[in-house]
Structure 1
Amino acid sequence: MQQTADVVVLGAGMVGVSAALHLQARGRDAALVDRHGAAGLETSFGNAGLIERASIFPYLFPRDLSDLFRYALNLSPQAHYHFSALPAVAPWLWRYFRESAPDRAMRHAHDALPLVERCLEEHDALIQLSGAGDIVRRIGWIKLYRSEKTLAKGIADAEKLRSFSLRIETLDADALAALEPDLAPVKGAVHFLDTASVADPSAVAQAYAELFQRRGGRFLAGDVRALQQTRDGRWSVPTHDGALIARDIVVALGPWSDQIFRPLGYDLPFAVKRGYHMHYGVADGARLSHPVLDADNGYVLAPMTRGVRLTTGAEFARRDAPPTPVQVDRDEQLARTLFPIAERLDPKPWMGCRPCFPDMLPIIGKAPRHEGLWFDFGHQHHGFTLGPVSGRLLAEMMTGEEPFTDPAPYRVERF
Structure 2
Amino acid sequence: MDDVIILGAGIVGIATGIYLLKRGRSVVLVDKSAPGLETSFGNAGIIQREGVRPHAFPRDLQTLLQVGLHLSTAARYEPLALPKLAPPLLKYWWESSPEHYRKVVTSYAPLIGRSIVTHAELIAAAGPEAEKLISRYGWHLAFRSADKLEKEVAKAEGDRDQFGIGFEVLDWAALKAVEPDLKGGLAGAIHWTDPWTVKDPGALVAQYFKLFETLGGRFIQGAAKGLRQDGESWSTEVNGRTIRAREAVIALGPWAPDVLEPLGYRLPLFVKRGYHMHYGTGEGAKLNHLLLDPEVGYAMAPMARGIRITTGAEFAMRDAAPTPIQLGKAERAARELFPLGERLDKQPWKGARPCTPDMMPIISKAPRHKGLYVGIGHAHHGFTLGPATGELLAQTMTGEETAIDITPFRMERFMGG
Q: Structure 1 length normalisation: TM-score? A: 0.97
Whole-angstrom CA distance in 1 between matches of 2:248 and 2:116 = 27
Does structure 1 conserve the Cα–Cα contact (< 8 Å) formed by 2:18 and 2:215? no
Does structure 2 conserve the Cα–Cα contact (< 8 Å) formed by 1:362 and 1:379? yes
Query: Residue type matched to 2:43 in 1?
Result: N
The answer as to 2:216 corresponding to 1:216 is yes
Does structure 1 conserve the Cα–Cα contact (< 8 Å) formed by 2:104 and 2:358? yes
Count of residues in correspondence between the two structures: 410
The answer as to 2:46 corresponding to 1:50 is yes
SS of aligned partner of 2:38 = coil
Deviation at 1:241, TM superposition (A): 7.6
Indicate the residue corresponding to 1:21 in structure 2. 18
Does structure 2 conserve the Cα–Cα contact (< 8 Å) formed by 1:236 and 1:246? yes
Task: State the identity %.
Answer: 50
143-152 or 354-363: bigger deviation: 143-152
SS of aligned partner of 2:351 = strand
Structure 1: runs of 5+ lacking an equivalent: none
345-354 or 157-166: bigger deviation: 157-166
145-154 or 353-362: bigger deviation: 145-154
RMSD: 1.0
329-338 or 163-172: bigger deviation: 163-172
Whole-angstrom CA distance in 1 between matches of 2:135 and 2:307 = 15
Indicate the residue corresponding to 2:120 in structure 1. 124
Indicate the residue corresponding to 2:376 in structure 1. 377
Structure 1 runs of 4+ with >4 Å offset = none
Deviations 1:274-303 (A, max 9, x none): 000000000011111111000101100011
SS of aligned partner of 1:208 = helix
Written as runs of structure 1 = structure 2, the 5 A alignment for 1:185-264 is: 185=184, 186-230=186-230, 232-240=231-239, 242-264=241-263
Deviation at 1:247, TM superposition (A): 1.1
Written as runs of structure 1 = structure 2, the 5 A alignment for 1:10-409 is: 10-36=7-33, 38-131=34-127, 132-163=130-161, 164-185=163-184, 186-230=186-230, 232-240=231-239, 242-409=241-408
Whole-angstrom CA distance in 1 between matches of 2:123 and 2:252 = 22
Does structure 2 conserve the Cα–Cα contact (< 8 Å) formed by 1:9 and 1:31? yes
Whole-angstrom CA distance in 2 between matches of 1:39 and 1:153 = 41
SS of aligned partner of 1:245 = strand
Does structure 1 conserve the Cα–Cα contact (< 8 Å) formed by 2:234 and 2:244? yes
SS of aligned partner of 1:209 = helix
SS of aligned partner of 1:302 = strand
Deviations 1:77-128 (A, max 9, x none): 1111101001011111111111011111111111111211111011011001
Whole-angstrom CA distance in 2 between matches of 1:343 and 1:42 = 25
Deviations 1:288-327 (A, max 9, x none): 1111000101100011000000000000000000000000
Whole-angstrom CA distance in 2 between matches of 1:282 and 1:410 = 42
Does structure 1 conserve the Cα–Cα contact (< 8 Å) formed by 2:257 and 2:266? no
Whole-angstrom CA distance in 2 between matches of 1:122 and 1:172 = 33
Deviations 1:361-414 (A, max 9, x none): 010111011111110010110010001111111111100011122111000111
Whole-angstrom CA distance in 1 between matches of 2:319 and 2:155 = 35
Structure 2: runs of 5+ lacking an equivalent: none
Does structure 2 conserve the Cα–Cα contact (< 8 Å) formed by 1:15 and 1:387? yes
